[in-house]
Amino acid sequence: MKKLKSYWWQSHPDEEHGLAVVHYNIREAKSMAYSHWGSEIGFDDVEFTDQTIKWQKDVDLSKLKDKTPHVIDDYKEGLILGMYSFIEGENDCDKCGMCMDYVSQENVINDEIICDDCLEKGDSNE
């Protein structure tokens, strides 16, 4: 049986941003990420030969909602699963609803994303 794996794709080795993608093998993951990037962002700044991809061995895919090959464009899900080390954009704190522009692994607690304010309050209550 084919098993899904988690991959980390970058348009260029020096690029900080990238895409998490789940697929059965690295070759198909690479072409899926590349065409997703092209349709969302454009091919202008990415050469096919510059792209890099690697297997993320430590990701537990059992909690993945969609078990078919796809690019993880639900960034919050990807962050919680550990595929993204940080995400940018508008994400709400699961405790207070405050909108955050930047969320890192430090904000992930028990499969929820928690803002820095709530994290501090949580600490002081203990």
Q: Is 115 in the site for Zn ion (CB under 5 A)?
A: yes
The rounded distance, in Å, linking the Cα atoms of 125 and 53 is 42
Q: How many helices (H) and strands (E) does the chain have?
A: 3, 8
Among 96, 111, 121, 122, binds Zn ion (CB under 5 A): 96
Q: Is 118 in the site for Zn ion (CB under 5 A)?
A: yes
Give the amino acid at 98.
M
Among 29, 72, 81, 93, binds Zn ion (CB under 5 A): 93
Closest CA to 90 of 105, 70, 75, 112: 75
Q: Is 95 in the site for Zn ion (CB under 5 A)?
A: yes
Q: How far is the CB of 115 from Zn ion (least distance, A)?
A: 3
What residues line the site for Zn ion (CB under 5 A)?
Answer: 93, 95-96, 98, 115, 118
